[in-house]
Homo-oligomer: A and B are copies of this chain.
Amino acid sequence: MAERESQIVLGLDPDPAALWPADGPEPTEGSPAERAAEAVLAHCRALIGATAEACVAVKLQLACFERLGAPGRVALEAVAAYARARGLLVIADGKRGDISVSAAAYAQALVGSIETPFGTVQGLGADLLTVNPLMGRDALQPFVSAAREAGAGVLVLVRTSNPGAADIEDLELQGGGPVWERLATIVAELGGPGVGEAGLSDVGAVVGATVPGHLARARELMASATFLLPGVGAQGGRVEDLAPAFWPGRAGGLITASRSIANAHTVAGGEPATAARAEAERLRESAWALSEGPFSTS
């Protein structure tokens, strides 16, 4: 992040019906799934190519690739490899969560590998993966352990950016405080053994940028967590409101933007790639300037 002076995460949630105009000829061979996956891959490459210098990571929305079946998985792996080659971290946004043995299997799929009698099968090789904590500590621990072993990290859903977050995450508990604060204390607890030299842990949190009032409290409860901050742009969140995320240093906050970058040309006009690059750069600059405070360690 220091090298690139960026906290911006390019969100990739490609819809085959809303891709950038293809640079070359449209795919004509193969099944609908194969052709759609090929077009999605080309789109993601173009978007990464246009914005990589302003970004520090890509966030792959797994749902968008899963709906294209096996060809979608091939495209997912190719997009991850392309992003990595452009110097970007890869965040697998799958929000998985399951009982221990199944959580371990998801971790193998996304961040580790599995030994089989037929040889080792490598997973996606993500640097960070989003996980769902509803099922409790024993559903999170396999993700944390596998990520720690792989030199990767997890981002636990704590207070999401959608209106429905109020239904469960915001419920007040008998002992005081809402459910999401309890999730935050679990994040801090699991992340304790994973705090590195920069003061940040390998267990981070997803905290929506749409309710900035929660950020200071979230930082109080999770001093060492990297915050993934969705909701800027299309969902209404503003970079200017995110200062508390950067208290432990600039790397404390990752700002994700998807549609506001990919669709920047629909607002600004011009070529999609040019508009996307300008919007990513605008976000980068405003976040980097904002996070240059007395609290910054970098």
Instruction: Name the contact of A16 in the complex, choosing from B100, B118, B139, B163 (C-beta under 8 A).
Output: B118
- Interface members, chain A 108-148 (any B CB < 8 Å): 108-109, 114-121, 123, 132-140
> Is A160 located at the chain interface by the 8 A CB criterion?
yes
A187, B73: Cα distance in complex, Å: 32
Interface pair B106/A17, CB less than 8 Å apart: no
Copies in the complex: 2
Cβ contacts A174-201/B at 8 Å (1 or 0 each): 1100010011001000000000000000
Q: Which residue of B lies closest to A231 (CB)?
A: B99
Smallest Cβ distance from A154 to chain B, in angstroms? Answer: 15
Set of chain B residues within 8 Å of A39, measured between Cβ atoms: 117-118
Interface locus among A58-66, A217-225, A246-254, A287-295? A58-66
Interface pair B167/A186, CB less than 8 Å apart: yes
Instruction: Name the contact of A135 in the complex, choosing from B116, B164, B182 (C-beta under 8 A).
Output: B164
A133, B97: Cα distance in complex, Å: 11
23 A-B pairs whose Cβ atoms sit less than 8 Å apart in the complex:
A13-B101, A36-B114, A36-B118, A39-B118, A63-B96, A63-B103, A63-B109, A64-B105, A67-B121, A69-B77, A70-B70, A72-B73, A99-B161, A133-B168, A134-B134, A135-B169, A136-B163, A137-B167, A171-B175, A171-B179, A172-B173, A172-B175, A174-B174
